[in-house]
Amino acid sequence: MSFECAECGRVSMKWLGKCPSCGEWDTYTESGEFGQEPSSSEGLLDAGAETLSRVKVSSRERIKTGIPGLDRLLGGGVVPGEVILLGGPPGVGKSTLFLQIAGKMASSGKKVLYVSGEESPSQIKIHADRLKINGENITVLGSGNLENLRILAGKLSPEAVFVDSVQAVADPSGGGAPGTVKQVKLSGQKITALAKNSSSVFFLSGQITKQGDMAGPKLLEHMVDAVLYIEPGDGNERVVSAVKNRFGSCGDFLLLSLGSRGLTEAENPGADAGMRNRVIPGRAYCCVKSGKRVVTAEIQALLSPSYFEYPLRRTSGFSRERLLMLSAVAEKYLGAKASGMDIYMNVSGVTRLQERSADLAAVTALYSGISGIAVPGNMVFMGELGLGGEVRRLRDAAERYAFASRNGFKSVVIPGSSGKIKRQQAEIIFIDQLSRIKEIIASDGG
Ligand SMILES: Nc1ncnc2c1ncn2[C@@H]1O[C@H](COP(=O)(O)OP(=O)(O)OP(=O)(O)O)[C@@H](O)[C@H]1O
Ligand SMILES: [Mg+2]
């Protein structure tokens, strides 16, 4: 006899009051209660054996979802047979995102099956109409019965199947209600096998609990190919990030904004591209981490003759102590003298710039403010400065570079020690000594 945690699925030979894996109390039940594993081979992958070199690659080309940011997040589109789990709190916009992807795929001629165990076809229709989705090519199934899904998917051979949500579907042969650990696990297995055997892409939505876990079955994460989370940001902002990504990378995120017409891509907070074209001395951009995301921040430095015995050093969103240090560094290595001048430094794009990697942009803004030489708005500067004027290694340089490139910056100035970076559109300019900044600015952003 064995016992299983209803929250995370950990198996133990004896009953436990508190689960050592997930820390939940009173979640262990006898595994026997859940009945036997399926005796039929229906839920299992059945793709045969073959010498690897002879395995035929079944149209492994990526399929575009039609939402460019999402395709990027998934590594360039979805792969046939891929199972993608989208987790998020109630009401965040999971169904909206699913309907929008379904609509985009359908309008590019793909056959789509949309299964909802939560909403009836007429409710789905109302939602789709609001999102201006043309329903051709989309078959809706209002059913929580996994068997119905399997039969219909067999008949239609859709390119994409949406299951909204995985907690609302159940396999009748398994017994028990939808949403129980046993059912979610079983549904996960069956859907995964169905995807691999049919090469349809499956999108599953899942509710997450207050603790931030996929409700009950964390174990679904191991079965699927990609796990995305959609979380609320500021106001209408929604952030989609990849926690697991078998055919792409993690760490990237997609910023969306939820409006009456659904979700739209809203990448590029902080710096408005129009503003970048204006020539403003004393301004420089950097890309900084804000939680898991990269954002653009603008630093402005204004210098004016001081009427005080002790010139002012005022900052907003930036450490005053750091500014004092950086102005000493700027004077020593760039010859930018601020004596007799008041300095005002302002940051926009983030509430507070706490990252040392913003040093290079801050000094550049300062130098520009003092010298009156404008910094090209299509350049972005990142790197921590030492007292010797040396530019130190940058963490997550590749991710920041990719972000800057995507956001229309033409040149990215980063420390030479940043490691290997996959070249995209933007030019990479390496800098190891601050003194080089003068010639970089003069080169005018490539
Ligand atoms: N008919 C509507 N009119 C206006 N706004 C709506 C309408 N339906 C939904 N919304 C908005 O869209 C948001 C996202 O809804 P959606 O159904 O996509 O969320 P969800 O994550 O699927 O929620 P759930 O977990 O309850 O299924 C809702 O919070 C709501 O603000
Ligand atoms: Mg929903």
- Residues 134-151: tens digit of each pLDDT: 889 999 999 999 999 999
User: How do residues 221-255 score in pLDDT, each as one tens digit?
Assistant: 889 999 998 988 767 888 888 888 888 777 666 87
Q: Are residues 287 and 259 in the same domain?
A: no
Q: Are residues 248 and 302 in the same domain?
A: no
The residue range of the domain holding 3 is 1-34
Give dist(CA 113, CA 98) in Å, integer: 11
Instruction: Among 265, 292, 308, identify where a domain stops.
Output: 265
Is residue 49 situated within a structural domain?
A: no
Q: Are residues 251 and 360 in the same domain?
A: no
Q: Probe ligand 1: pick from 86, 95, 123, max atoms within 8 Å of CB?
A: 95
Q: How many CA atoms lie within 13 A of 1 on its CB side?
A: 7
Going by CA atoms, what residue is nearest to atom 29 of ligand 1?
91
Which of 47-51, 58-62, 70-74, 229-233 is the least confident region? 58-62
pLDDT the model gives residue 293: 73
Is residue 228 situated within a structural domain?
A: yes
Give dist(CA 114, CA 137) in Å, integer: 10
Of the pLDDT bands very low, low, confident and very high (cuts 50, 70, 90), residue 292 is low
Is residue 18 situated within a structural domain?
A: yes
Give dist(CA 327, CA 334) in Å, integer: 10
Instruction: Among 223, 248, 265, identify where a domain stops.
Output: 265
Distance 127 CA to ligand 1 centre (A): 8
Q: Are residues 9 and 123 in the same domain?
A: no
Is the pLDDT assigned to residue 445 strictly greater than 70? no
Shortest-distance ligand to the CA of residue 87: 1
95 touches ligand 1 (CB under 6 Å): yes
Going by CA atoms, what residue is nearest to atom 25 of ligand 1?
90
User: How do residues 58-69 score in pLDDT, each as one tens digit?
Assistant: 555 889 999 988
Is residue 130 situated within a structural domain?
A: yes
Q: Are residues 70 and 218 in the same domain?
A: yes
Of the pLDDT bands very low, low, confident and very high (cuts 50, 70, 90), residue 286 is very high
Q: Determine how many CB atoms are found less than 10 A away from the CB of residue 384.
A: 17
Q: Are residues 230 and 314 in the same domain?
A: no
Of the pLDDT bands very low, low, confident and very high (cuts 50, 70, 90), residue 326 is very high
Q: Are residues 169 and 135 in the same domain?
A: yes
Is residue 42 situated within a structural domain?
A: no
What's the total number of domains in the chain? Answer: 3
Is residue 420 situated within a structural domain?
A: yes
Q: Are residues 293 and 228 in the same domain?
A: no
Is residue 40 situated within a structural domain?
A: no
Which pTM value belongs to this model? 0.65
Is residue 54 situated within a structural domain?
A: no
Q: Which of the pair, 47 or 379, is modelled with greater confidence?
A: 379
Q: Are residues 2 and 81 in the same domain?
A: no
Instruction: Among 247, 265, 283, identify where a domain stops.
Output: 265
Q: Are residues 175 and 225 in the same domain?
A: yes
Say what angle helices 320-334 and 359-371 make with each other, to 10 degrees. 60
